[in-house]
């Protein structure tokens, strides 16, 4: 388990993450510079020795560090002194490929309808596949990574804007502009799918047994039962009961 850092060290880390290089940690501040606290904590927990940080540690920095460089409003946090370097990326200098992470259960819908924003107001694209996988694990234990063809997307009218050095934003990516793994079928073959006979079968209780009618019909039948059955048969055939003679009259 990593050691706990002092509030002063945590304050410097937050100033770097929020005020200098949020893109390095997969964070995208809004127009006012805020990011969601839950997103900040997820990014922090991915870094060595920072997995212990929670909301109470952020409050501790605000209370104990003079001139703490950030502020908290409800569930959002921002750095008060932002020094994020501007990044001008011309369309011709955009990467040829970008990567997007989506939830695995949403893949069939995304494959048919395109990539729409989900947890962020815009579609977040990464120049590095590793960063896309990092972002994906924040929303799904087993995310699907899609490869976006920037040229095809641009021809379809998609405007890709940079957010820092390695992240990009788009309003929407239509079908045909990205590729991914095979789409799972709606009804995959399930060899264990119960048949009507299996679904009606009840589990055996301890000490019980299942009666097999076919085997029971062929089992040994006592002579007394056979004689009674013969009497019932004769009575059904002749319509009247024929009483047998008592043994002493025979």
DSSP annotation of 158 reads -
Q: Is residue 123 a contact partner of residue 28, using CB atoms and an 8 Å limit?
A: no
Q: What is the mean pLDDT of each run of 10 residues along the chain (250 residues)?
A: 81 93 94 94 94 95 91 94 62 84 96 93 96 96 97 96 92 97 72 53 56 55 69 59 53
Structure tokens of 58?
């952020």
Quote the pLDDT of residue 185.
80
Quote the pLDDT of residue 5.
87
Quote the pLDDT of residue 187.
54
Instruction: Count the helices and strands in the chain (H runs, E runs).
Output: 9, 9
Beta-carbon contacts of residue 108 (< 8 Å; ≥ 6 apart): 183, 184, 186
Domains and CATH numbers, the chain: 7-79 (1.10.10.970), 91-179 (3.20.170.30)
Cβ neighbours around 43 below 10 Å, total = 20
Quote the pLDDT of residue 183.
92
Cβ neighbours around 236 below 10 Å, total = 8
Quote the pLDDT of residue 184.
87
Quote the pLDDT of residue 84.
63
Structure tokens of 106?
């949403």
- Report if pTM > 0.85: no
In a 13 Å sphere around the CA of 201, the CA atoms on its Cβ side amount to: 11
Quote the pLDDT of residue 91.
45
* CA nearest neighbour of 127 among 222, 23, 205: 23
Q: How far apart are CA 121 and CA 184, in angstroms?
A: 27
């Amino acid at each position: 388990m990593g050691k706990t850092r002092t509030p002063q060290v945590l304050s410097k880390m937050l100033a770097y993450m929020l005020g200098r290089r949020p893109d390095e940690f997969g964070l995208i501040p809004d127009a006012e510079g805020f990011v969601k606290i839950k997103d900040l904590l997820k990014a922090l927990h991915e870094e060595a020795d920072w997995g212990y940080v929670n909301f109470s540690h952020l409050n501790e920095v605000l209370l104990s560090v003079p001139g703490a460089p950030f502020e908290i409003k409800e569930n959002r946090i921002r750095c008060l002194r932002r020094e994020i370097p501007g990044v001008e990326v011309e369309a011709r200098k955009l990467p040829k490929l970008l990567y997007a992470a989506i939830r695995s259960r949403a893949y069939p819908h995304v494959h048919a309808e395109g990539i729409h924003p989900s947890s962020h107001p815009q579609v977040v694209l990464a120049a590095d596949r590793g960063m896309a996988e990092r972002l994906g694990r924040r929303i799904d234990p087993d995310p699907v990574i899609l490869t976006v063809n920037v040229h095809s997307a641009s021809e379809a009218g998609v405007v890709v804007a940079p957010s820092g050095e390695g992240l990009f934003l788009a309003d929407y990516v239509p079908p045909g502009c990205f590729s991914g793994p095979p789409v799972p079928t709606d009804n995959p073959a399930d060899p264990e799918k119960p048949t009507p006979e299996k679904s009606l079968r009840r589990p055996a209780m301890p000490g019980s047994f299942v009666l097999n009618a076919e085997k029971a019909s062929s089992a040994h039948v006592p002579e007394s039962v056979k004689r009674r059955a013969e009497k019932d048969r004769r009575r059904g055939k002749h319509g009247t009961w024929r009483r047998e003679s008592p043994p002493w009259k025979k």
